[in-house]
Amino acid sequence: MSALDPSLVRELAPQVIGVLVRRGADFASAEDAVQEALLAAHEQWADEPPRDPRAWLVTVAWRRHVDLVRSDASRRAREERVEREPAPGPAATSEDTLWLYFLCAHPSLSPSAATALTLRALGGLSTRQIAEAHLVPEATMAQRISRAKRTVADVPLEVPGDLSTVLRVLYLVFSEGYAGEVDLAAEAIRLARWLVALTDEPEVRGLLALFLLHHSRRPARRDADGRLVPLPEQDRSRWDREMAAEGIDLLQGALARDRLGEYQAQAAVAALHADALRAEETDWVQVVEWYDELVVLTGSPVHRLNRAVAVGEADGGAAGLRALRELDPALPRYAAVAAHLHERAGDLADAARLYAEAAAAATRTDERDHLTRQAARLAPHRRDP
Amino acid sequence: MAKYLMLKHYRGPKGAVHDVPMDRWTPEEVDAHVRFMDDLADDLRASGEFVDAQALSPGGMWVRFDGEGKPPVVDGPFAETKDLIAGWMAIDVESEERALEVASVLSSAPGAGGIPIGEWLELRPFLDDRPNAVE
């Protein structure tokens, strides 16, 4: 390993920021100090790599921070606080890093601010990379991140955060899609792995399991021409079995603790798909049962909609349509689900019309193209008024 | 987050509340209008919501393919009746509600007499072009 292995840097930087903040540095200056310490490391480690890189970074970053504070005459009050601080002690504890997770997912932040701050402070990604991944100008993302930092500047350290907000932010990062050089799904997996190591919470394991199970299907999610391939039609030999197995292991360990939550339940659905070597072997009855759990846990219409799909597979299109009748047609993806269920029920004329409707309502290019092809496939059956 | 395009029209099917053509404004009124647009773009940069802004020349023409090896067919300049896009501003916002709020501000740009024009803007959601990680 070279002295400054980038992956090591990305792992250490947030831990060191966490230590500085817990010692009284404000978030923005902690980050600046750590950036300077990394530059110093870059110059010095090649000749003389430290025995304990993290301790080295903590020491140097803390010194930089103290220098910065001292040189800033307008920060008298903080200076006094810094003077009272103990000399740099042992390197980061898991508590420091965990606290940084809570800070980046703080309820005072909007979802977009929380995801950006998480990627910057915990993921150690550059502003440019985060901007690219979200397809916005770098200057826009820089503002989003610095506003987020200002928002959480005065969050007290003592308050233990709410883990569910952290999980929600990681899920947002995962489901954001991917663009540019950074794969946000892989990034979310990395951050979730780390969180698993820091906590003893079944839902955290459930979330990582869910990520791994979804991610294991990525090689099959698009065909050679880049077209979206829906789950039932995916070439399952292309799924990453090893990754799926890891997800299933994690999930079983979590479920054994008997503290069910929504991410464990969603991972259980994904695991049932992973268990089926062929689409027709899927245990849809069990999938429906897990969606029943999810509806009880969250009451979310999204889970009700997915439940209707599962009912359609387990008990036929007509049963699925009955489950759909209780839902609001204004839901995202309602028309796509309705089209699929009508087709299963053998009502091709309505299915064709609904696929066209669903294509017009899609929010992603690949989904729109897929639904347009479905509408085209059934076009001969259309009977428009 | 969701991206939206706010389309401005030189002339459109829906007119505006305070509809005086720009070429009849005073220079100061034109300046005030341009400054308003620049300030709005700066505000959106500062709030981390700005994606893009672009003005279009009113000149232009229709073009279409006319068969292999033949030059394209051109029809122009535009007829007076054509719905004519003046430019756009693209934003990346937390919700549709916020997009409506920003569009309403853009529509309130001052025109003749410094009064908000109240022009109709087209607000169009982007389709996300990034592959989804979930399915």
Give B131's DSSP letter: P
Could you write out the three-class secondary structure of A359-372? HHHCCEHHHHHHHH
How close A229 gets to chain B, by Cα (Å)? 9
Question: What does the alpha-carbon distance between residue A34 and residue A86 come to, in Å, rounded to a whole number?
Answer: 19
pLDDT > 80? residue A52: yes
pLDDT band at residue A90 under the 50/70/90 scheme? very low
Task: Note whether A113 contacts B48, CB cutoff 8 Å.
Answer: yes
CB of A151 within 8 Å of a chain B CB? The answer is no
Task: Note whether B127 contacts A363, CB cutoff 8 Å.
Answer: yes
Interval B38-68: pLDDT, tens: 999 999 999 999 999 999 999 999 999 999 9
Task: Note whether B130 contacts A112, CB cutoff 8 Å.
Answer: no
- Paired tokens of A384: 């428009």
pLDDT band at residue B134 under the 50/70/90 scheme? confident
Interval B6-30: pLDDT, tens: 999 988 888 788 888 888 999 999 9
Task: Note whether B50 contacts A177, CB cutoff 8 Å.
Answer: no
- CB contacts, 8 Å: A365 with chain B: 127-129
Average pLDDT, chain A: 89
- The strand order across the sheet containing B122-125 reads B50-55, B84-93, B2-11, B122-125
Contacts of B108 (CB under 8 A, 6+ apart): B116, B117, B118
pLDDT > 70? residue A82: no
Residues 72-111 of A with CB under 8 A from B: 110-111
Interval A108-146: pLDDT, tens: 999 999 999 999 998 888 899 999 999 999 999 999 999
Task: Note whether B94 contacts A112, CB cutoff 8 Å.
Answer: yes
- Paired tokens of A189: 């997996």
Mean pLDDT of A87-97: 59
Mean pLDDT of A276-290: 97
- CB contacts, 8 Å: A113 with chain B: 48
Specify the pLDDT at position A79.
Answer: 47
Taking one residue from A and the other from B, the number of pairs with CB-CB distance under 8 angstroms is 87
Specify the pLDDT at position B11.
Answer: 84
Mean pLDDT of A211-239: 94
Mean pLDDT of A233-253: 97
Query: Who among B2, B94, B128 is closest to A110 (CB)?
Result: B94
Specify the pLDDT at position A42.
Answer: 80
- CB contacts, 8 Å: B130 with chain A: 135, 176-179, 364
Q: Would you say A251 and A196 are in contact if contact means Cβ atoms under 8 Å apart?
A: no
- CB contacts, 8 Å: A367 with chain B: 132
Closest residue by Cα to residue A65 from A77, A80, A82: A82
Mean pLDDT of B113-123: 94
Q: In angstroms, what CA-CA distances link A79 with A24, A197, B121? A: 10, 35, 52
pLDDT > 80? residue A89: no
- Paired tokens of A185: 């799904």
pLDDT > 60? residue A78: no
Question: What does the alpha-carbon distance between residue A139 and residue A358 come to, in Å, rounded to a whole number?
Answer: 35
Interval A321-350: pLDDT, tens: 999 999 999 999 999 999 999 999 999 999
Interval B85-100: pLDDT, tens: 999 999 999 999 999 9
Mean pLDDT of B65-92: 94
Interval A162-176: pLDDT, tens: 899 999 999 999 998
Specify the pLDDT at position A1.
Answer: 41
- CB contacts, 8 Å: A143 with chain B: 45-48
Name which residue leads in pLDDT, B16 or A148: A148
Q: Out of A102-116, A174-188, A256-270, which region has the weakest mean confidence (pLDDT)? A: A174-188
Specify the pLDDT at position A72.
Answer: 65
**Residue ranges in chain A assigned as alpha helix (H):** 6-22, 27-44, 53-71, 76-84, 94-104, 111-117, 127-134, 138-151, 163-175, 184-198, 202-215, 241-255, 262-275, 284-298, 301-315, 317-324, 334-344, 348-361, 365-378
CB of B19 within 8 Å of a chain A CB? The answer is no
CB of A117 within 8 Å of a chain B CB? The answer is no
Among chain A residues, CA nearest to B50? A140
CB of A58 within 8 Å of a chain B CB? The answer is no
Per-position DSSP letters for B17-76, written without gaps between them = SS---GGGS-HHHHHHHHHHHHHHHHHHHHTT-EEEEEE--S---EEE--STTSPPEEE-
